[in-house]
Structure 1
Amino acid sequence: MRHRDEHKQQALLEATLHEVAEHGFAVTSVARIARAAGMSPGTLYLYYRDKDDLLEATFSEVSRRIIEVALDAFEAEPDAQVSRVTSPAMSPAAWQLKSALCRVWHALVMLGRRQPALFRFHDQFLHSSHMRDALKVANQERAAPLLEAFAQGQRTGILKQIDIALIEVFMFRSIYSLLQGSGCQVPAISDACFDQAFEMAWDAIALRHPAP
């Protein structure tokens, strides 16, 4: 039995990520991925059954990275970024949730700017026939602390009583479009625009309360 090398396995994941992000699923073949990873197609099959197995493994790795960044930001101590969401009319609990989501928002924007291939691959996979229920469940388990915060926000009257999936879509999915569109805008989308987009996302999910 040939020895499985973790470095080669990681190289295959990275090659798949960048090849799909650049060229799409249809063009990206096993041979192309293996060549980008610096190995033969036969070596690839030591680690993955087929192309679909490799794509799913890459999606799981990409999701892990994105969710890990989101959770780190969500659980971090408030910083200077929080001052952007301060509102004297908000309850302490609402302010705490909004400021935490603001940290997540900006952490994901920064990640997308540094590693745009992550978001391009993730977005393509989510809208492809490769997306299976088991993968959705795995992502929900990874993101459980954030999803529970949404549920708690609904229980305490901070967030609207809508499907949690809609909260996730309105709060975070617009980041994908903004990041992809930023390269097409002249001038490029500014930090101020990303701040405004967060406020719009918050307004979409937050339950409005009358001014005191």
Structure 2
Amino acid sequence: MALHHKHLLALAISSALGLSAPVVAEEAAVAAADEQEVEVLAITGKRISYANNSTDEAIKNTKAPIGNVLDLVSQLPGISVGQGDAFGGDDWSTTISMRGFNVNLNEQQLGITVDGLPNGGSGYGGGSKANRYLDTENTSYVEVGQGTSDIASASLDALGGTLNFVSNNPLAEENLSVGVTGGDHNARRYYTRFDTGQIGGNTTAYVSLSDSFNNRWIGSGSNGFTDRLHGELKTVT
């Protein structure tokens, strides 16, 4: 009788062990699957100024080549650009206003940069606006930060926002572009640009030259015309 109970006890123990082994294996497989499905998600935030805008190719195509790059931002909301003549050839009378802040003869409250680099000031006396550095054809777009300026802005004057004029990159293939423009009031402009394509493996470059002339106002008078010869060179490696 005792022997019979021992056999029953051994049978029960072996049955329990046999049932528990698959359960342990299944739990280990589920844990391994959970570990494989875990993904790491990193979120990085950056503070930017409110009401940011930028120009695009459609805006650029509406502008006359004989104009200047300041015309590109005149169609954005909240920005007003006033120039002394139709072609923007009179820097003395050029004004830029954005939400009550101005760039004119007496005030430099807006920051202007070219490719993120400061221009040293935007006023007429001792400063240079973006139209002194870039032709419209060589401009890719303009980034406009309205309101409080980004603290990382490289501009000298950024009390009421910034305008960053971004030049386009050289083409990957060799190319020659030529443009001729004419208009009323003796307006004429010649433009040429040569892209080198890839040189030295991973370097591209372009060089451009433009020559423009137009009357500032109808009739004759002192300082009554604009004659501008402008060259640019850009390399990217």
TM-score, normalization: structure 1?
0.24
Which protein, 1 or 2, shows the higher relative CO under an 8 Å CA cutoff with sep ≥ 6? 1
TM-score, normalization: structure 2?
0.22
* Structure with the higher strand share, 1 or 2: 2
* Structure with the higher helix share, 1 or 2: 1
Structure of higher CA gyration radius: 2
